[in-house]
């Protein structure tokens, strides 16, 4: 028995010894793996050439365990690295193949950095990898087939790089059944989508391949992806019949984007019915976009069988003919319907008016006839109605007066008759009214002429309107363009038109107007184009027009003007063509008859006689009056009458140096018009110089609209007080009285970005591409700070070139926070300007026309201010800079927005836009490699602008993402320019 016990103890000891050795051996193995992983990271770090945020500072610590390094996550036993996430760290360099040593890695995220070069093939050996994200870098070359070895991959995101070549088949067809998300969009990939029938894609929910150069048909193998929720193949060169069978069993599909390809419909491009039938089972479908293809045939009646969840439906720019089926009214949740630019005929079905959720309706550029259904006036949320370029007849319905949310009414180029309904004035939010090229008669109703809501343009041209120009036109103080040409208007031009201070275009040609041309027209601060030709105007052409710093286009032809015309100022670029048909004109304009010289002795005699009479009178009466005025001013200054108002001051006012109202008066010359440097919907901005030679800009709030902007002053003070960033305007002080409120800001020596984008004849020097990218990067950084980092989260609401100022170093500063919104998540002590605030303020539009996101601009009031709206405005700014086209100019053409106009050229017809931009922003002597780099940057700016201006707010990038992209482009240009300087220096 004792021997047995001894044997048992021996056996137990032996097992313990073996177990100990196994544990020790395991620990040594674990230690060896983690040390190997550490070595891989150190090697990876050697490829990093730029780390401005010191993101990898912890990697240099010899005492810190590798599992505690920034972006590194180990498994529970700390025996291997399973996650490396260095996204949005502003890292630059190349991706080292050494990452292949992280054999247990499941997540690799290097997105939104500045990595360049190729994707290393060694990543294909990371067999445990489940998530790979290299999006938004500068990677180039092809997508390597080695990535097909990653059979556990669930998430692949390589979007927004410079990747080219074909898509490797192994990404989709490698025997994996886990693949859920694939985003290869916004590259330059070519070839077909490599999907075969045997590919296992049952888990695929997101496939995003938009904005590439892919060809061929949509692979039938997608029929296996029954869980697909989002398919975006837009802006490629795909062709063939719409893939009906693929979508027949996709009940989870929500977003389907096939626009801007070359698809056709079934049965020889005559039948869209099978495709609509296939989608009938997709009961979650929200957006369907088929625009700009080659789809033909009639719109089938089974359109009414599409899922009732559908909210947006685009069929524009196709080859559809026939009538609009009344069954479309079954889509009761539709908010956007776009059937424009087809060959549709027949009448507008009254059933359309049953779709009460409609917010935007585009039926333009078809052959629709008959009368406009008056029932359209019963759509409570309608914000945009475009029926232009059809064959509609009859009267404009009075029922439109019920459209309280209507912002844009486009009925031009039809055959409408009768008078303009005065009831249109009840559309209190209307910003665009275009009734041109119809058969309208009668006078312009005073009610319509006095609509202050019109902020973009009024176009009544090419009708049969008669009578005088209504004095009420002067109330349109925010309208950008007025076109009343080609009518039968008579009488004189009222001088009150000078009150339309925002006016940029005025065309009253082709009427029967007489009398002189008012001086006030030339004093409009932003007027760029004036056409008064083919009237009966008399007298001299006002000097104010010649002195205008903004006028570019002028036409005075076929009137009865007389007098001398010089070739200076705004007339310097004009030819005799702008003055033809005026026999009484003479001067130095090229091709114009010279004026005969006359001796004017009275010019010498009259001043002498006047001086003999006036001097004694001034000595008797004038000097005592002047002295009395000085005494009165001195007494007033002692009594404090003109000091900062004695009303209740907020704490903010005591934090800044006190500058009195009198001092501001003196600095600006009594707010003299000559000191005016800007105007907006809330007031005017004057330049001035204080007694200590400080140059200032004084933003004076308009007292006429004090009721509507009562919160604007406090709001801007609040924001300027609490935000601190190099790219945001700072405040010097404020001045507040019951009848006067002003912000005092530093005067930016280089003015606004708008001044440089659209230089007058006195300023011909534009900005080069490096400067423009730098400015946009500054703006993006400033707005990203407002959205994501400011102690008080802010939505700016009014991003545009005139609200971007440039200092001595051409650094951009975002300004004008008068209609901004403070949002939740910041300082709890902030007044409640949070996300529950509505974007509009007592009927005033939040933002500026052309820059406002569709969700705020085109449909009803009451939309909340959002950061996505600022992203949209920034995108418009990018597109404006690249194209050199104001967003409001496009509205006069066939496109409804600058986004749509650029999108119509993207991606296959961008070269004219790129070359034009290159001509404006570069030198002819630029080296070829630098020119090529600039072309790449311009295309990148276009793509980023299009991404920011997508209709759906949820698909737009965040401002933080945008700032990252702009910083990347800025760095790329800087590096390329440095190479040029080094090359030039070495040659020297």
CA separation for the pair 417, 438 (Å, rounded):
7
Q: CA-CA distance, 988 to 983, in Å (whole number)? A: 9
In DSSP notation, 388-425 reads -SSEEEEPPPGGGGG-TT--EEE--SSEEEEPPPGGGG
Which pLDDT does position 647 carry in this prediction?
Answer: 32
Count the neighbouring beta carbons within 10 Å of the beta carbon of residue 308.
13
pLDDT of the residue at 703:
62
Which of 747, 776, 808 finishes a domain?
747
The maximal CA–CA distance of the chain, rounded, in angstroms, is 150
Beta-strand relationship, 804-806 and 812-814:
antiparallel
974 and 840: one domain?
yes
Task: Kindly state whether residues 719 and 788 are assigned to the same domain.
Answer: no
CB 403 within 8 A of CB 426: no
Read off the CATH number of the domain in which 810 is found. Answer: 1.10.510.10
- Do residues 854 and 360 lie in contact, with contact meaning Cβ atoms separated by under 8 Å? yes
What range does the domain containing 922 cover?
753-985
Q: What was the pLDDT predicted at 803? A: 87
Q: Is residue 454 part of a domain?
A: no
Which two tokens mark 144?
Answer: 């390597």
Q: Are residues 735 and 816 in the same domain?
A: no
Residue 598 CB coordination number (10 Å): 5
Contact criterion met (CB below 8 Å) for 874 and 779:
yes
Alpha carbon of 704 to those of 526, 684, 710, 956: distances in Å? 21, 12, 11, 38
**Domain containing 61 — which CATH number?**
3.80.10.10
Residue found under tokens 């407002």 = 786
Per-residue model confidence as pLDDT tens digits over 50-102:
888 788 988 987 778 899 999 999 998 888 999 999 998 889 999 999 999 99
Closest CA to 512 of 466, 575, 444, 450: 466
- Are 82 and 105 in contact by the 8 Å Cβ rule? The answer is yes
If one counts every other C-beta atom within 10 angstroms of the C-beta of residue 520, the result is 18
Model confidence pTM above 0.75 = no
Give the chain's end-to-end CA distance (angstroms, integer).
Answer: 101
- What pLDDT was estimated at residue 456? 83
Asked if residue 89 has a cis previous peptide bond (ω within 30° of 0), the answer is no
Asked if residue 298 lies in contact with residue 269, where contact means CB atoms within 8 angstroms, the answer is no
Q: Three-class SS of residue 512?
A: strand
Tell me how many domains the chain contains.
Answer: 3
Q: Tell me, what's the pLDDT at 835?
A: 26
- 971 phi and psi angles, rounded to 5 deg: -65, -40
CA-CA distance, 378 to 717, in Å (whole number)?
42
Residues 30 and 845: their CA atoms lie apart, in Å, by 64
Assigned domain for 348 exists: no
849/711 same-domain check:
no
105 shares its domain with 120: yes
Phi, psi of 665 (to 5 degrees): -60, -45
How many other CB atoms sit within 10 Å of the CB of residue 24?
A: 10
Per-residue DSSP letters for 27-50? Answer: HHHHHHHHHHHHHHHHHHHHTEEE
Same domain, 877 and 927: yes
C-alpha span between 409 and 372 (Å, rounded): 13
Neighbours of 890 (CB within 10 A): 21
Q: State which of 189, 205, 221 marks the end of a domain.
A: 205
Write the DSSP symbol of residue 505: E
If we measure between CA atoms, which residue out of 269, 290, 268 comes closest to residue 279? 290
CA angle 411, 414, 420 (to 5 degrees): 55
pLDDT digits (tens, 9 = 90+) for 573-586: 898 999 999 999 99
Same domain, 702 and 762: no
In a domain? residue 860: yes
| Strand arrangement, sheet containing 162-165 | 48-50, 92-94, 114-117, 138-142, 162-165, 188-191, 213-216, 237-241, 262-264
CA distance 742 to 71: 48
CA angle, 137 then 138 then 141, to 5°: 120
How many other CB atoms sit within 10 Å of the CB of residue 481? 22
Q: Do 127 and 101 lie in a common domain?
A: yes
- Residues pairing with 728 in the sheet: 814
Say if residue 666 is in the same domain as residue 799: no
Instruction: With respect to residue 465, please indicate whether it lies within any of the assigned structural domains.
Output: no
So what's the pLDDT on residue 649? 33
Is 505 within a domain? no
H-helix segments, 169-320: 244-247, 266-269, 273-279
Task: Report the pLDDT value the prediction gives residue 907, as an integer from 0 to 100.
Answer: 77
pLDDT of residue 867: 87
Query: Last residue of a domain, which of 721, 747, 773?
Result: 747
- Is there a contact between 56 and 77 (Cβ–Cβ < 8 Å)? no
Residue 376 lies inside a defined structural domain of this protein: no
CA distance 60 to 51: 13
Residues 698 and 831 reside in one and the same domain: no
Residue 816 sits in the same domain as residue 676 = no
CA-CA distance, 449 to 614, in Å (whole number)?
47
**Residue whose C-alpha is closest to residue 448's, from 439, 463, 459, 438:** 459
Strand duo 740-746 + 733-737: pairing: antiparallel
Q: Which of 103, 88, 170 is nearest to 136 (CA)?
A: 88
DSSP H helices, 723-818, are 753-757, 769-784
- Determine phi and psi for 678, rounding to 5 degrees: -175, 155
Gyration radius of the chain over CA positions: 34
760 and 897 assigned to the same domain: yes
Q: Average pLDDT by consecutive 10-residue portion of the chain (988 residues)?
A: 42 41 42 86 91 85 86 90 92 93 95 92 93 93 90 93 93 82 94 86 92 93 92 94 91 94 95 95 94 95 95 95 96 95 96 93 96 95 94 96 93 96 92 95 94 89 96 89 95 92 92 95 91 95 91 94 92 90 91 75 50 46 38 32 31 53 85 75 78 83 54 58 75 76 82 81 64 93 85 80 88 74 40 29 54 65 70 94 83 70 83 87 74 88 91 83 88 76 55
Active site residues: 798
Strand pairing partners for 45? none
Q: Name the β-bridge partners of 794.
A: 822
Q: For 330, phi and psi rounded to 5 degrees?
A: -65, -20
Whether residue 466 is preceded by a cis peptide bond, meaning omega within 30 degrees of 0, is: no
Strands (E), 305-389: 312-314, 319-322, 336-338, 343-346, 360-362, 367-371, 384-386
CB 821 within 8 A of CB 795: yes
Query: Of the candidates 104, 98, 152, which has an alpha carbon nearest to the alpha carbon of residue 120?
Result: 98
Bridging pattern class, strands 367-371 and 391-394 = parallel
Whether 218 is in a domain gets the answer no
211: nearest Cα among 231, 186, 243: 186
Closest by CA position to 256, among listed 295, 299, 188, 307: 307
Q: Where are the alpha helices (DSSP H) in 802-863?
A: 854-857
Please indicate, yes or no, if residue 195 is contained in any of the structural domains: yes
Half-sphere exposure of 249 (CA within 13 A, CB side): 8
Contact indicator for 491, 465 with CB cutoff of 8 Å: no
Q: Three-state SS for 264?
A: strand
CATH number of domain containing 712: 3.30.200.20
Element (H or E) spanning 612, and its range?
Answer: helix 602-617
Using CA atoms in the order 58, 60, 63, 65, what is the torsion angle rounded to 10 degrees?
60
């Amino acid at each position: 028995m004792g021997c047995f016990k001894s044997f048992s103890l021996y056996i137990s000891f032996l097992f313990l010894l073996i177990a100990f050795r196994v544990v020790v051996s395991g620990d040594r193995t674990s230690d060896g793996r983690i040390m190997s992983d550490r070595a891989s990271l150190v090697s990876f770090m050697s490829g990093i050439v730029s780390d401005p945020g010191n993101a990898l500072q912890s990697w240099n610590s010899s005492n810190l365990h590798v599992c505690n390094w920034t972006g590194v996550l180990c498994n529970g036993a700390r025996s291997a690295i399973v996650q490396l996430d260095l996204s949005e760290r502003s890292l630059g360099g190349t991706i080292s193949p050494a990452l292949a040593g992280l054999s247990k890695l499941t997540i690799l995220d290097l997105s939104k950095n500045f990595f360049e070069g190729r994707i290393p093939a060694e990543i294909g050996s990371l067999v445990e990898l489940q998530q790979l994200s290299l999006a938004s870098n500068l990677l180039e070359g092809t997508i390597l087939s080695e990535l097909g070895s990653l059979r556990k991959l669930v998430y692949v995101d390589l979007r927004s790089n410079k990747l080219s070549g074909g898509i490797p088949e192994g990404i989709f067809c490698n025997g994996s059944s886990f693949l859920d998300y694939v985003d290869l969009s916004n590259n330059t990939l070519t070839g077909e989508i490599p999907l075969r029938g045997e590919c296992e894609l049952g888990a695929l929910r997101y496939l995003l391949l938009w904005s590439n150069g892919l060809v061929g048909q949509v692979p039938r193998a997608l029929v296996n992806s029954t869980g697909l929720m989002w398919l975006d193949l837009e802006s490629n060169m795909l062709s063939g019949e719409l893939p009906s069978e693929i979508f027949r069993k996709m009940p989870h599909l929500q977003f389907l984007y096939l626009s801007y390809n070359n698809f056709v419909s079934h049965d020889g491009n005559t039948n869209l019915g099978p495709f609509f039938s296939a989608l009938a089972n997709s009961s979650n479908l929200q957006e369907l976009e088929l625009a700009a293809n080659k789809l033909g045939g009639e719109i089938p009646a089974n359109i009414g069988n599409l899922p009732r969840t559908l909210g947006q439906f685009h069929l524009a720019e196709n080859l559809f003919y026939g009538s609009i089926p009344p069954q479309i009214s079954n889509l009761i949740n539709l908010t956007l319907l776009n059937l424009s630019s087809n060959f549709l005929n027949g009448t507008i079905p009254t059933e359309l008016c049953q779709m009460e959720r409609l917010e935007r309706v585009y039926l333009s550029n078809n052959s629709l006839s008959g009368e406009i259904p008056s029932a359209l006036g019963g759509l409570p949320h309608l914000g945009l109605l475009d029926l232009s370029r059809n064959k509609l007849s009859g009267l404009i319905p009075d029922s439109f007066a019920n459209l309280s949310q209507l912002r844009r009414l486009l009925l031009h180029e039809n055959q409408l008759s009768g008078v303009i309904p005065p009831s249109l004035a009840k559309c209190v939010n209307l910003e665009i009214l275009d009734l041109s090229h119809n058969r309208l008669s009668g006078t312009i109703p005073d009610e319509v002429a006095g609509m202050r809501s019109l902020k973009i343009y009024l176009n009544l041209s090419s009708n049969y309107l008669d009578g005088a120009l209504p004095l009420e036109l002067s109330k349109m103080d925010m309208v950008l363009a007025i076109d009343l040409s080609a009518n039968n208007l008579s009488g004189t031009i009222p001088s009150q038109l000078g009150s339309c201070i925002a006016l940029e275009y005025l065309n009253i040609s082709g009427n029967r107007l007489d009398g002189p041309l008012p001086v006030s027209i030339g004093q409009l601060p932003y007027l760029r184009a004036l056409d008064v030709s083919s009237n009966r105007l008399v007298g001299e052409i006002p000097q104010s027009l010649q002195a205008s710093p903004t006028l570019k286009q002028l036409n005075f032809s076929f009137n009865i003007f007389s007098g001398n015309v010089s070739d200076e100022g705004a007339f310097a670029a004009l030819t005799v063509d702008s003055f033809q048909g005026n026999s009484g004109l003479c001067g130095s304009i090229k091709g114009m008859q010279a004026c005969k010289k006359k001796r004017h002795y009275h010019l010498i005699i009259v001043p002498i006689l006047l001086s003999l009479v006036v001097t004694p009178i001034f000595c008797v009466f004038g000097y005592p009056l002047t002295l009395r005025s000085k005494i009165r001013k001195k007494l007033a200054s002692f009594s404090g009458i003109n000091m900062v108002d004695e009303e209740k001051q907020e704490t903010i006012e005591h934090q800044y140096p006190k500058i009195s109202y009198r001092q501001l008066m003196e600095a600006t010359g009594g707010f003299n018009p000559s000191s005016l440097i800007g105007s907006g919907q809330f007031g005017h901005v004057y330049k001035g110089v204080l007694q200590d030679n400080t140059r200032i800009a004084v933003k004076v709030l308009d007292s006429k609209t004090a009721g509507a902007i009562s919160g604007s002053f406090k709001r801007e003070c609040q924001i300027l007080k609490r935000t601190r960033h190099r790219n945001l305007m700072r405040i010097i002080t404020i001045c507040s009285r019951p009848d006067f409120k002003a912000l005092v800001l530093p005067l930016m020596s280089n003015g606004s970005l708008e001044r440089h984008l659209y230089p007058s004849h006195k300023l011909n020097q534009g900005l080069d591409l490096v400067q423009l990218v730098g400015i946009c990067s500054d703006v993006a950084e400033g707005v990203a700070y407002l959205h994501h980092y400011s102690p008080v989260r802010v939505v700016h609401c009014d991003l545009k070139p005139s609200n971007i100022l440039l200092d001595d170093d051409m650094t951009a500063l975002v300004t004008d926070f008068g209609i901004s919104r403070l949002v939740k998540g910041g300082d709890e002590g902030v007044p409640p300007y949070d996300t529950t605030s509505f974007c509009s303020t007592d009927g005033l539009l939040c933002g500026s026309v052309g820059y406002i996101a569709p969700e705020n601009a085109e449909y009803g009031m009451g939309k909340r201010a959002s950061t996505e709206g600022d992203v949209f405005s920034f995108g418009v700014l990018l597109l404006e800079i690249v194209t050199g086209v104001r967003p409001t100019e496009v509205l006069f053409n066939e496109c409804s927005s600058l986004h749509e106009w650029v999108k119509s050229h993207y991606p296959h017809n961008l070269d004219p836009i790129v070359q034009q931009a290159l001509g404006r922003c570069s030198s002819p002597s630029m080296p070829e490699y630098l020119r090529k780099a600039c072309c790449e940057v311009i295309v990148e700016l276009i793509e980023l602008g299009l991404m920011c201006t997508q209709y759906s707010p949820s698909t737009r990038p965040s401002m933080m993402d945008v700032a990252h992209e702009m910083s990347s482009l800025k760095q790329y240009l800087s590096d390329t320019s440095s190479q040029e300087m080094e090359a030039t220096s070495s040659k020297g």
